[in-house]
Amino acid sequence: MAWRETRDPYRIWVSEIMLQQTRVETVAPYYERFLRRFPDVRSLARAPLDDVLKAWEGLGYYSRARNLHRAAGVLVGRHAAEVPRTVEALEALPGIGRSTAGAIAAIAFGADVPILDANARRVVARLFAVEGDLRSSAAESLLWQRSASLVRKGKGRDTALAVMDLGAVVCLPNAPRCPVCPLRSRCSSFPRGLQDSIPPKRARKSLPHHDVVAAVFRRADGALFLMRRPPVGLLGGLWAFPSGRRGPGETLEDALRRSLREKLQVRAVIQREVGAVQHAYSHYRITLHGFFCETRGGALPAGEGTGWLPLREEGRFALPRADRTLVEFIHREEER
């Protein structure tokens, strides 16, 4: 983990943002690529948002990239392009909550402050046998207190890293490795056999499913028509095929024709299916059905918020994973 070998606050900040909601193995290649592309705060602040989203493509939770970019602008404007040292100043930046602020302050600057990311939350809850719903405000406050009690004077960095490591390799979500845990003699859960019930397992809810239809308009040179999604919200700022959700009782084709009329004011002829892609977001699942289309009445919009993706070039467009898969289907078909 390259971010463990640095004391550079910028690099630690980038790694902590990437590690929010994403596993270490997934983050590693993105981290290296991102830092090659944006080696410091100024280069990140200067870059167009499109470039930042492109470097983030596939990592998901794109608000993190948008906030990182905005925060870099704030750092250049108000902090002389330096990452601030205190939890309070860090927390004032877009995309940085209390735990991320604590992690950056502790790891980059050695501050004696606690952390409470997902791994730390589990480790601390088990160490102190905090039972019940850990998301309640009472539990939250208790966990912060307990996490703070682990920090010895002058050992903020070591404590943050140790808690993270323990959570990543020993005090695992399922089947914690208590017999080899260096903290087992201090752990309140292990001797009482509570480690498997803390935190309590939540019943996995089945996610609702939606059929989404997408239009693939292809120019004579092979370029594909894309539209930029609104700047905030799910996949905000990314480029995607024009699409819409299938309504009750609609066929996929009817849904696509309706969506194109409503969104682009064009009448379309649907030629054939490109393929279908399954994808899960945090709160729902989709099947994205792509169709080659041609306009028959009305022209595709041009200008701001629209673009043509050259077929053989990654270019500047960051696409959601499902749309990127449709592009791959088209590539493969062309190669046959």
Q: What are phi and psi of 322, to 5 degrees?
A: -65, -40
Q: How many CA atoms lie within 13 A of 202 on its CB side?
A: 6
Q: Closest separation between CB of residue 197 and ligand SF4, Å?
A: 11
Tell me how far apart the alpha carbons of residues 4 and 11 are, in angstroms, rounded to a whole number.
10
Q: Closest separation between CB of residue 134 and ligand SF4, Å?
A: 14
Where does this chain bind ligand SF4 (CB under 6 A)?
123, 126-127, 170-171, 176-178, 181, 183-184, 187, 189-190, 195
Tell me how far apart the alpha carbons of residues 311 and 313 are, in angstroms, rounded to a whole number.
6
Between 162 and 311, name the residue whose CB sits nearer to ligand SF4: 162
Closest alpha carbon to 276 in 180, 186, 210? 210
List the structure tokens of 274.
């490109």
Between 65 and 171, name the residue whose CB sits nearer to ligand SF4: 171
Q: Which amino acid is at 297?
A: G
Q: Which residue has the tokens 């050695």?
A: 110
Q: Which residue has the tokens 């960051």?
A: 318
Q: Closest separation between CB of residue 236 and ligand SF4, Å?
A: 37
| Angle at the Cα of 179 from the Cα atoms of 177 and 181, rounded to 5 degrees | 65
Q: How many CA atoms lie within 13 A of 266 on its CB side?
A: 19
List the structure tokens of 227.
């539209």
C-alpha dihedral, 95 to 98 to 100 to 104, nearest 10°: 120
Tell me how far apart the alpha carbons of residues 310 and 255 are, in angstroms, rounded to a whole number.
27
Q: Closest separation between CB of residue 136 and ligand SF4, Å?
A: 21
Q: Closest separation between CB of residue 184 and ligand SF4, Å?
A: 4
Between 163 and 274, name the residue whose CB sits nearer to ligand SF4: 163
Whether 16 is a known active-site residue: answer yes
Between 151 and 187, name the residue whose CB sits nearer to ligand SF4: 187
**Marked catalytic residue, from 16, 140, 304, 335:** 16
Between 116 and 330, name the residue whose CB sits nearer to ligand SF4: 116
| Catalytic center residues | 16
